[in-house]
Amino acid sequence: MDCLSEEVLGREFSDDSQVWVILNETDQGRYLLFPKDEDTLALWAFMKHEDAEHLVHLLKTLAPPYKDMNLVIVGDLLKEVRAGAKEHNGELCVWSPVDSLEFFRRYEELLGHYYGF
């Protein structure tokens, strides 16, 4: 997965930058973790709210375990998300708008939702 590295985040973004994360509303204190690669779970955070919305749409459409979950998107500070990832034994994976679009293009049949159609 091509998310922003910790090095890039540290160099180009302040700890007070806002990112968007997905939570299961019935388990509010816990971030959802997703695969970063075969061996690693990561807390996915997005620089754009719309990208987080589209991931929720994909999960509800393509992933049966998420279909009935009440997933919510919340804005949080980068420093808080970093701490949350560490607390839950996961890595942080922040998606830029370009990286998000590239990831979503793997599911082109669902891009209409991404573009608001």
CATH of the domain at 34: 3.40.1350
pLDDT confidence of residue 53:
94
For residue 115, is it within any domain?
A: no
For residue 112, is it within any domain?
A: no
DSSP state of 41: E
d(CA 64, CA 102): 23
Whole-number CA gyration radius for the chain = 14
Per-residue pLDDT of the chain (117 residues; tens, 9 = 90+): 578 877 888 888 998 999 999 998 887 667 888 887 788 888 899 999 999 999 998 888 888 888 888 899 999 999 998 888 888 777 888 999 998 988 888 877 766 766 664
For residue 54, is it within any domain?
A: yes
pLDDT confidence of residue 116:
60
d(CA 104, CA 81): 22
d(CA 39, CA 96): 22
For residue 114, is it within any domain?
A: no
Q: Locate 108 and state its tokens.
A: 């082109």
Helix ranges (H only) for 1-117 are 6-12, 49-62, 64-67, 78-87, 97-104, 111-114
Classify the C-alpha dihedral 116-48-103-36 as positive or negative. negative
For residue 38, is it within any domain?
A: yes
For residue 22, is it within any domain?
A: yes
Half-sphere exposure of 38 (CA within 13 A, CB side): 0
Domain of residue 58, residue span: 6-107
For residue 53, is it within any domain?
A: yes
For residue 81, is it within any domain?
A: yes
pLDDT confidence of residue 78:
93
Domain count, the chain: 1
39, β-bridge pairs: none
